[in-house]
Every structure is written in C-alpha cells, then in structure tokens.
Structure 1
Amino acid sequence: MEAKEDPTRAVVRKIWDLTTPVIAAEGLELLEVEYRRESQGWVLRLFVDRDGGVSVEDCAAVSRVVSDLLDVTDPIAGPYHLEVSSPGLDRPLRRWEHFHREIGKVVAVRTRTALGSRKNFKGILVAASPEAIRVDCDGTIFDIPLDAVDKARLRYFESGGAVPTPHE
C-alpha cells in the first residue's frame, strides 16, 4: 500500500511548483516555503532572495504577483495569510544549490527521521551534492541525504559573520 502524502507537505510542494517561475520572473529566487498553523490561523510564508539582498518593495511586488496567482489557481483549501520575506542572516537552506553556496560555514540541520541515533546536526558544512550534504559536527562527519532534511539553516554569526552596519 502506498503511503499518503502529508496534506501540509503537498501544499508546500504545490506552492513551490506554482510560484518559482513567477518569482524568478521578478528577478528573485524562492528559497523556502512554509505553510503552518499559527495563532492567527494558517500562514503561507515565502522567503525570497537575490544577489545584493531584497528590499521591502521587492517583497511587496512578489506578494502582489503571488497573491494574484494563488487567487486564480486556488491551490489551498480554506483561508490563510500570505507573507513574503527576506530570508535574513540565518537563511533557510532547502536545495542543494543553497547548501553548495554555504560550504565552509556553520549550519543547523534537522532530519525528518533519525539517522543513527540523532535528528539534529550542527557543524561545518563540508560538501553538498544533489543527493546529500556532509556536515562535520565536532570532528564527526555525517552524510545526510537531502531527502531526509526536514529543516536546515545557515548559522551566520557562528560562521564568522559580522553584524551588518547601516550604509551612511
């Protein structure tokens, strides 16, 4: 018997497929899609980025375009609140290309199921391929299949990042 896909995961997958091309047409990259129940109800959160960063105006433009697209395609049953945001310094890592750009930096990774005896890994990202990432956690190397990753984030300040200063 085939396992049925989690409805929340199905929505996230559908939103990735629908929005990636329209966000790319705006000159931005979709980094992450979250769909979750919060105190105010269901929230669909999109994290977008581009070289040089994302402005409030960029987020507003993507919000308008994506909102129109979702109104037409209606991929989500029931009400939800759409948020479009910059990924921030501790940016989410989802696709292997995202990981590849951060090799040599500290990452925090949670897997869907335990690999050996653990689900949480924090260490230096030493390699990334379309199949897996390799993380050095205090001298122990872990190969983590990308399809096992539930959540991953760059740990900016632990990677030697400095606090950005405002432009004068």
Structure 2
Amino acid sequence: MSWQTTVETTVTGLGYELVDCERSASGGTLRVTIDKLEAQADAGELINVDDCEKVTRQLQYVLEVEGLEYSRLEVSSPGLDRPLKKAAHYARFAGQEIDITLKLPFQGRKKYRGVVSAQPQAENDQAWRLVLDDGEHEQALDFTLDEVREARLVPVISFKGRGGEPAPDRKPGQRGVIKPKKAAAKKHAGEPTQAAPGQDKVDGGLKQ
C-alpha cells in the first residue's frame, strides 16, 4: 500500500477521521491531522493528547510493518481553523463561515470569507458556493474545489462543540447575486505536548 492509503486505513480503523496527511518535500516528516467522527464532534468531543498518542503508536507499528520509511511522525488535532480538503469536509460544515484562498485571483483578489453551501442543482460534489456579506448587500461566489488553494473554517468558540449553534452574528447561507463568472482558479503549529519514541510529535486538544 502507499503511505497515504496506509495512514488513512489506520486512522479510520481506530475510529477517527483523517483530516489531512502530508509528507515533507524531503520525505522525512509525515504530518497527520485527525479529528473525532462527525457525531462525536457534534456532541462536543475534541481530540486530546491520548487520541494523538493512540494514533501515533499504531502508525509507528503499521508503517514499520509495511516498510514505509520516515524520520519523524507528527500527529495533531485540526485546531479551530480546521482545513477543508475534500467535498465531504465542505458538506459536513455547510452553513458555516469559511476562509478560502483561490489558486488564481478573481476580480483582483484571491482571499474570500463567507458562508459555504453547495451550488443549487450542481451535478457533482465539487461545485460549491460562498455567500459574501459586506454589511450592505450579499453576493455569491461559485467555485469548484480544484480552483481552491486552501480553505479553513473561521474559528468559532462554542461550548456545544463545532456542531453546536452558530455565533449570534452568523447568518445562514442565503442566496445572493450570482456572479456571471466562476472563480478562477497554518496549520496551527501548536506546542508539542508529548514526544513519542523516535522523536515523533504528538499535539493534543489544547488548540481546540
């Protein structure tokens, strides 16, 4: 198996969601971001140090068995500004406010903030809409996932978890004026809370 498949199979097999997995350019550092499953997160459960240690230990074992080399393994929580990497992430957080950075500028800018929702009558799950509100009127920016360089949740403090009620000033994803064109197309560093064998890094739930 490839390292991506190995990591995803291991993380999901332990009952967690794999948010992101990346390997450094040199191939030495493997960074894995995990989260609770949607139902658990909606109930207010957050990733903690024990979760990260559990995944780290299992990945160390599986990667060794599969003969996949790395020099450093970092397992962490997604943080409040959780990255959105695939269609399932957008669907999970539809109706919430996100920041996106486009690969290419649209109307002179790449960065936009708004409430995300699926495009009405979209034929696939790659088409999404961002409702923008400048305080005077709303507009809608339609885009596809391959036009996005980066997307993250806008941090919201909620005692009910990320699936709780939105902030009082947050508006639902209302439809606005549709642009005639489509958009062209950090990770929280955190402080390591505990080091696992082999200098692997484990980040816990303090960032959340």
- Alignment partner of 1:66 is 2:52: no
Equivalenced residue count is 145
For residues 124-163 of structure 1, the aligned pairs below 5 Å read 124-127=115-118, 130-138=125-133, 139-157=138-156, 160=167
The secondary structure found in structure 2 opposite 1:45 is: strand
Q: Which is richer in helix? A: 1
Q: Is the 8 A contact 1:15 1:33 kept in 2?
A: no
Moved more, 41-50 or 26-35: 41-50
> Which structure's relative contact order is higher, taking Cα pairs within 8 Å and 6+ residues apart?
2
| Alignment partners' CA distance in 2, 1:46 and 1:117 | 34
| CA drift at 1:21 | 1.2
Structure 2 spans left out of the alignment, 5+ residues: 158-165, 169-208
Runs of 4+ with deviation above 6 angstroms: none
- Alignment partner of 1:54 is 2:47: yes
| Alignment partners' CA distance in 2, 1:149 and 1:75 | 30
Structure 1 spans left out of the alignment, 5+ residues: 1-13, 162-168
The secondary structure found in structure 1 opposite 2:146 is: helix
| Alignment partners' CA distance in 2, 1:118 and 1:16 | 33
TM normalised by structure 2 equals 0.59
| Alignment partners' CA distance in 2, 1:74 and 1:144 | 40
| Alignment partners' CA distance in 2, 1:67 and 1:112 | 35
For residues 1-168 of structure 1, the aligned pairs below 5 Å read 15-36=3-24, 43-50=29-36, 51=40, 52-75=45-68, 80-115=71-106, 117-127=108-118, 130-138=125-133, 139-157=138-156, 160=167
| CA drift at 1:122 | 1.3
Identity of aligned residues (%): 31
RMSD: 2.9
TM normalised by structure 1 equals 0.71
Q: Deviations over 1:74-112 (max 9, x none)?
A: 556xx5421111112211111211111212211011233
Q: Which is richer in strand? A: 1
| Larger-gyration structure (1/2) | 2
